[in-house]
Amino acid sequence: MFFGQKKVVAIDIGTSSVKLAEMDATRKGWILRKFGVVTLNPGWVKEGEILEPQSVSATIKTLIQSVKTKRKNVATGIFGNGVIVKRISMAPIEENLIAEAIKWEAEQYIPFDVNEAAIDHHVIRHPDRGAGENLDIILIGAKQEFVFRFIETLESADLKCSILDVSGFALANCFEANYGKVQGLTALLNIGAGVTNLVIIENGDVIFSRDSMVGGQTYTNELHKSMGVSVPEAESLKISASMGQEVPPEVNTVLASTTEQVVDEIRNAFEFFIATGGGGRVSKIYVSGGSIFIPKLVEEISAAVGVPFEVFNPFQQITYDEKSLTPDYIQQIQSISPVALGLAMRGMKE
Ligand SMILES: Nc1ncnc2c1ncn2[C@@H]1O[C@H](COP(=O)(O)OP(=O)(O)OP(=O)(O)O)[C@@H](O)[C@H]1O
Ligand SMILES: [Mg+2]
């Protein structure tokens, strides 16, 4: 660990819940000390935008109290409509001039006003590339208004936003901590409530990240609309069906037709990668997110894009504090925790 660096607490503000993770770097690797989840009301966070900062902030306060974290420096992640990630190629220039050059280029790549955007970038290292060859750059544009809302929400909960990440990159960070730098192309698919993150990693570098506005809520809303049940009822019917419990046959019909819609969106995102990603074959999809339990969803995505899948296990390498967390609880949070864990490992070196 770097001397003097403050430890962070991860706050992953999702569409259906906020997750909190507190981790430490030890000689034996990363250990999860504390974890907590608190539900948000539908509509408070939508497509990556915090629409009800005060309600979200009050909810985060209750989470802090129940988890009893003392850390004030937060690592959080933006996602959805507030952020765009693009891979660009640029004539070779000196490292310290890249940021300035990108400002001029950004306009053509960012679908919103660059004057109201925060711009960041990563250079993808290709060890086999010569000095005179083009630079391969990942450009990240975030809507400032979205970012401010995150900062404001955290500040109202008496926290400080120290690290602002992109959820897809945090997911990739958690993947690397557990599986290392995998050779070739690997896809990560995090199917949440409102958003599905698709991240493609090549030899340890994120080369593509795109969020589709589909997830578990798509199913809940369809059940709510077509069966005339309340949203909470629709949610519980969905969970029951996913756990193999008996439900009215119409539930399964609606789930199956929604899956077609969701698979289409995700297939589009994959095709967009193939069209812009410079070829190469993705060898595996690691799936996470609370919605991987929807019957057959993951299988159908895998079949549609022709890539095998595996369930992402964030506790493959990361350990947890057995004094405060039980194996049952770890099992429960396995699918929903990767983004929060990836955030919690930011800012400190192992
Ligand atoms: N057993 C289950 N079967 C089916 N769906 C489930 C199950 N458990 C959770 N879900 C769904 O998973 C979603 C929550 O997952 P997750 O916590 O990954 O999303 P989020 O982080 O809140 O949202 P997002 O990442 O989209 O902003 C909800 O839509 C919930 O209904
Ligand atoms: Mg999420």
Looking at ligand 1, which residue's alpha carbon is closest to its atom 12?
290
77 in ligand 1 pocket by Cβ < 6 Å? no
Gap between the Cα atoms of 14 and 12, Å rounded: 6
Q: Where are the domains of the chain?
A: 8-218+256-344
Q: Are 21 and 343 in contact (CB under 8 A)?
A: yes
Pocket test of ligand 1: the residue of 11, 16, 219 to mutate, having most ligand atoms within 8 Å of its CB, is 16
> How much distance in Å is there from the Cα of 337 to the middle of ligand 1?
11
What is residue 349's predicted lDDT score, i.e. its pLDDT?
Answer: 52
Ligand positioned closest to the Cα atom of 298: 1
Q: What pLDDT is stored for residue 1 in this prediction?
A: 38
Pocket test for ligand 1, best of 291, 292, 293 (most atoms within 8 A of CB): 291
The amino acid occupying position 86 is: K
Atom of ligand 1 nearest to the CA of 40: 22
Q: Which atom of ligand 1 is nearest to the CA of 288?
A: 18
> What gap in Å lies between CA 220 and CA 248, rounded to an integer?
15
* Secondary structure class of 14 (helix, strand, coil): coil
89 Cα to the center of ligand 1, angstroms: 36
What local confidence, expressed as pLDDT, does residue 126 receive? Answer: 74
**For residue 196, which of 289, 258, 84 has the smallest C-alpha distance?**
289
Ligand nearest to the CA of 290: 1
* Å from CA of 173 to ligand 2 middle: 15
Question: What pLDDT is recorded for position 321?
Answer: 98
What is the SS3 assignment for 75? strand
Within a 13 Å sphere around the CA of 155, how many CA atoms are in the beta-carbon half? Answer: 6
User: Chunked in runs of 10, what are the mean pLDDT values of the chain (350 residues)?
Assistant: 70 98 95 98 97 98 97 97 92 88 86 88 80 88 96 98 97 98 97 98 95 98 98 98 97 98 98 83 97 98 98 98 97 98 81
Atom of ligand 1 nearest to the CA of 191: 18
- Does 291 contact ligand 1 (Cβ within 6 A)? yes
Distance in angstroms (rounded) separating the CA atoms of residues 306 and 309: 10
Nearest ligand to the CA of 171 is 2
CATH class of the domain comprising 8-218+256-344: alpha beta
Cα gap 193→300, rounded to integer Å = 18
Provide CB contacts within 8 A for 169, sequence distance 6+: 77, 199, 206, 209, 342
- pLDDT given for residue 348 in this prediction: 59
Regarding the beta carbon of 194 and ligand 1, being less than 6 Å apart is answered yes
- Ligand 1 atom closest to residue 16's alpha carbon, by position in its atom list: 22
CA of 97 to the centre of ligand 2 (A): 35
* Distance (Å) from CA 194 to ligand 2 centroid: 8
| Res 350: pLDDT | 45
Task: Work out which ligand 1 atom sits closest to the CA atom of 235.
Answer: 31
Q: Which of 194, 202, 213 is nearest to 289 (CA)?
A: 194
